[in-house]
C-alpha cells in the first residue's frame, strides 16, 4: 500500500485532505512541512499546531538558528510515515496535527519581537489547540511560556539543556537566550519546585530552586531513573517541555551555537523522553538547531525526532 501511495502522492502538505493519517510521499521531494502534515492557517479541526519561529538575534556565540525551523521540517520527512516507534499508538492518526507555518515578524524590530511571538502562540491556544514550536534560539521560550501561563496558570518546566539559562537579568528590555529561565522564575511563570533541568554541564551558582540532573549524573543513573526523577519533581500539574538541542553531546548534535562536550546521547534522550510519558504536558519546543554548523544534517534530524516525541507526550494523556 505504501509503495502504491508513493507513486501518486506529492506535495501532500498542500494537497492532502484532512489533518490525520500517514503520508507516503517520497522523502526527497515535495513541499516540506513537519511530518508532511497539512500546511494551514485554519486550526478549526486541529488538536496540535506545529509552528516555526526563525529568530536568532539573542545568541551568545554562533548564529544560524533562524534557519532551524526549515531544516527541522526537511529532516522530519526522513522519518517513517508509520506510527512513531516505541509509543504503542500513532499520534499522527489519533490526533489532528497541522503545520501552522512560521511566525511573521519584523526582523529589524527586535524589541517588539517577544510580544509578537506571545500573541502568535496565544492565538493558537485560543483555538483550543496545543502548540509545539520549532526554534530559533532559546530566548523564544519566554514569550511562549507567557502565552501558556495565561491559559494554564504557572507551569512546571522540563528543560533539556547544557546550560541553565538562569543567569541574572533584571532588564526587561533585554532579549537573551541565556536568561529566559531567570525571567520566567521572577515573573512567576514557572514553579521552581516543579521544574527540572536535565543535561546541564556549565557552571551557574544559583539554580533558583530548580532541580538539576547534570550530564554526568545522567550518565551514572541511566534513563529510567532520570525519567522517574523528572516525573517525581513535575508531579501531576501542567508542565511545559523545552529541549535545547545542545543538551545532546556535539557528537550527536554539532549544529548548534554553544556546543559543550560530555552531553547526552541520542539514545539517552529518546529513552528519557519516552520514560516521562504520563506527565501533564501542555506544550513544548525544540530550539537552537543551527544548520550552518550541521554539515551532516544530524542535528536537524535529532531536532525533528525530539519534536515528534513532544507530540507523542502531549497525546499520551489525551488518547
Bind-site residues? 138, 161, 163, 165, 244, 246
Q: What is the dihedral of CA 270, 213, 319, 72, to 10 degrees?
A: -50
Grid-cell match 534513563, residue found: 223
CA angle 155, 109, 71 (to 5 degrees): 65
- Which residues make up each annotated binding site for Mn(2+)? 138, 161, 163, 165, 244, 246
Grid-cell match 515578524, residue found: 105
| Beta-sheet strands, E only, within the chain | 38-39, 48-53, 97-102, 130-135, 156-160, 196-198, 211-213, 238-244, 280-287
Q: All 3 cell numbers of residue 250?
A: 556535539
Q: What is the dihedral of CA 25, 83, 46, 41, to 10 degrees?
A: -30
Q: All 3 cell numbers of residue 228?
A: 522517574
Grid-cell match 516543579, residue found: 194
209 Cβ contact list (under 8 Å, min separation 6): 185, 192, 193
Task: Count other Cβ atoms within 10 Å, centred on residue 288.
Answer: 31
Amino acid at each position: 500500500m505504501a509503495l502504491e501511495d508513493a507513486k501518486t502522492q506529492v506535495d501532500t502538505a498542500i494537497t492532502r485532505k484532512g489533518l490525520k493519517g500517514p503520508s507516503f510521499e517520497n522523502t526527497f521531494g515535495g513541499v516540506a512541512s513537519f511530518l508532511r502534515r497539512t500546511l494551514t492557517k485554519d486550526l478549526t479541526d486541529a488538536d496540535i499546531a506545529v509552528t516555526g519561529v526563525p529568530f536568532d538575534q539573542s545568541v551568545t556565540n554562533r548564529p544560524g538558528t533562524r534557519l532551524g525551523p526549515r531544516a527541522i521540517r526537511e529532516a522530519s520527512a526522513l522519518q517513517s510515515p508509520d506510527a512513531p516507534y516505541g509509543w504503542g499508538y500513532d499520534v499522527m492518526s489519533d490526533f489532528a496535527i497541522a503545520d501552522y507555518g512560521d511566525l511573521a515578524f519584523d526582523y529589524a524590530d527586535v524589541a517588539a519581537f517577544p510580544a509578537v511571538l506571545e500573541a502568535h502562540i496565544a492565538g493558537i491556544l485560543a483555538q483550543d489547540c496545543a502548540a509545539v514550536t520549532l526554534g530559533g534560539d532559546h530566548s523564544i521560550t519566554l514569550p511562549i511560556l507567557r502565552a501558556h501561563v495565561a491559559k494554564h496558570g504557572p507551569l512546571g518546566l522540563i528543560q533539556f539543556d547544557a546550560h541553565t539559562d538562569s543567569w541574572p537579568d533584571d532588564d526587561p528590555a533585554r532579549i537573551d537566550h541565556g536568561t529566559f529561565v531567570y525571567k520566567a522564575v521572577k515573573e512567576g511563570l514557572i514553579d521552581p519546585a516543579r521544574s527540572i533541568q536535565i543535561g546541564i554541564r556549565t557552571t551557574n551558582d544559583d539554580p533558583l530552586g530548580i532541580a538539576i540532573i547534570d550530564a554526568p549524573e545522567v550518565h551514572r543513573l541511566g534513563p529510567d531513573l532520570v525519567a522517574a526523577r523528572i516525573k517525581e519533581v513535575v508531579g501531576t500539574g501542567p508542565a511545559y517541555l523545552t529541549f535545547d538541542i545542545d543538551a545532546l553531546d556535539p557528537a550527536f548534535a554539532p549544529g548548534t551555537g554553544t556546543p559543550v562536550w560530555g552531553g547526552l546521547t541520542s539514545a539517552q534522550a529518546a529513552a528519557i523522553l519516552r520514560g516521562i510519558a504520563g506527565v501533564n504536558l501542555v506544550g513544548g519546543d525544540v530550539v537552537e538547531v543551527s544548520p550552518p554548523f550541521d554539515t551532516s544534517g544530524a542535528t536537524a534530524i535529532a531536532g525533528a525526532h525530539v519534536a515528534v516525541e513532544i507530540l507523542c507526550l502531549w497525546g499520551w494523556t489525551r488518547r
